[in-house]
Amino acid sequence: MYDKIFLPKKITLPNGKIVSEKRTRIPFVIALILISVIVSIEITGFDMELLMDRWDEFFVIIGQMTPPTWEYLPHLWGPLLDTIKMSLLGSLLGAIAAVPAAVLASSNITRNKLIAGISKFLLSILRTLPTLVSALIATFIFGLGTLAGTVAIFLFTLAYVGKLLYEQIENVNMGAFEAIESMGLTKIQAFRYAIVPQILPNYLSTSLFCFEGNVRYAAILGYVGAGGVGLLLNEGIGWRNYPNVGMILLMLIITVFIIENISEHFRKKLN
């Protein structure tokens, strides 16, 4: 389409042959991006003057957060542990449930195209729902509390790990699987001995990575009433008790930092 409007440049080589060079698309792409930026500025009401005028307000809250109230720390342990437990339980169950889901969705093991297609579609719908939205729905169904948060994390982990896992299963070397099946072993045995060893390290590493991210998500789930440290965060912000908020954020950053380092250590070992 583009090449028909802007005809390719013709270059005559010294030996008389004519070659055509396609015109670059960069001006077109840049124009597209510029238009989108202008439209977005229009829609969102982006206002540089306002920003220049009041940007220091942002640091007012940070200023009020320091120094954090250390006395608040003893009240924090319970919810913080709740957050970690929620993300741990949700990630563990989600990663386990992702295995059958991924097997159903991978078209080289499930020969039935319909089942594979439906499973893939369900996984991608689950993945599109932001965790906070699914947590919000879960609080309506399971009541306020950690159960709702765990369900939300479980669903996200299931979808995320499931998707990466079925992509890996579809890319494995099927030779061993067929050989084992031809020797008369059942499909499950063939899966266990031919495919599991190929995907296991990657599966574990994906699950760990997902757990890492889930801790961060779990921290805000309390905002919609799904338990954990987010509840306190919401409370602190609502009452404008910013030193407490600072303390919560500090502990959160430290926790996430520790968990990220532990998980990175194991992920490096797996590869």
Partner 1 sequence: MTAVEKRLLEEPKNLNYILTVSIILCILFIWSATTIDLEKMDSSGLMIASNIILGILNPDLNLLFDMTQSGVAYLLIETIAIAFLGTIIGSLLAVPLAFLSASNIVPVPIAYMTKILLIAIRTVPAIVYGLMFIRVTGTGPFAGVLTMSLTSIGMLSKLYVDAIEDLDISVLESMSSIGCTTFEKIRYGIVPQLFAMFLSIMIYRFDMNLRDAAVLGLVGAGGIGAPLIFAMNSYRWQEVGSILIGLVILILIVDVVSNKLRTRLVRG
Q: Which residues bind partner 1 (CB under 8 A)?
A: 33, 36-37, 39-41, 43-47, 50-51, 54-55, 57-58, 60-62, 81-82, 84-86, 88-89, 92, 124-125, 128-130, 132-133, 136-137, 140-147, 150, 216, 219-220, 223-224, 227, 230, 233, 237, 245, 249, 252-253, 256-257, 260
User: Toward partner 1, which CB reaches closer, 19 or 60?
Assistant: 60
Work out the angle between the directed axes of helices 146-171 and 113-128 (0-180°, nearest 10): 140
User: Toward partner 1, which CB reaches closer, 181 or 260?
Assistant: 260
- In whole angstroms, how close is the CB of 269 to partner 1 at the nearest point? 11
User: Toward partner 1, which CB reaches closer, 102 or 252?
Assistant: 252
Of 215, 214, 110, 221, nearest to 161 (Cα)?
214
- In whole angstroms, how close is the CB of 17 to partner 1 at the nearest point? 25
- In whole angstroms, how close is the CB of 183 to partner 1 at the nearest point? 14
- In whole angstroms, how close is the CB of 187 to partner 1 at the nearest point? 24
Which tokens is 197 given?
């060893």
User: Toward partner 1, which CB reaches closer, 107 or 142?
Assistant: 142
With 0-12 CB in 10 A as exposed, 13-18 as middle and 19+ as buried, what is 196? middle
Q: Alpha carbon 71 to chain centroid distance?
A: 34
Given the structure tokens 């954020």, which residue do they identify?
249
Strand partners, 10: 20
User: Toward partner 1, which CB reaches closer, 53 or 187?
Assistant: 53
With 0-12 CB in 10 A as exposed, 13-18 as middle and 19+ as buried, what is 132? middle
Burial string for 12-30 (b: 16+ CB within 10 Å, else e) reads eeeeeeeeeeeeeeeeeee
- In whole angstroms, how close is the CB of 15 to partner 1 at the nearest point? 28
In sequence order, what are the residues at sequence separation of 6 or more whose Cβ sits closer than 8 angstroms to the Cβ of residue 55? Answer: none
- In whole angstroms, how close is the CB of 85 to partner 1 at the nearest point? 4
At 252, which amino acid appears?
L
User: Toward partner 1, which CB reaches closer, 169 or 221?
Assistant: 221
Tell me whether the omega of the peptide bond preceding residue 100 falls within 30 degrees of 0, making it cis: no
User: Toward partner 1, which CB reaches closer, 187 or 257?
Assistant: 257
- In whole angstroms, how close is the CB of 70 to partner 1 at the nearest point? 19
- In whole angstroms, how close is the CB of 195 to partner 1 at the nearest point? 18
At 84, which amino acid appears?
I
Q: Is 66 helix (H, G, I), strand (E, B) or coil?
A: coil
Q: Alpha carbon 106 to chain centroid distance?
A: 21
User: Toward partner 1, which CB reaches closer, 174 or 204?
Assistant: 204
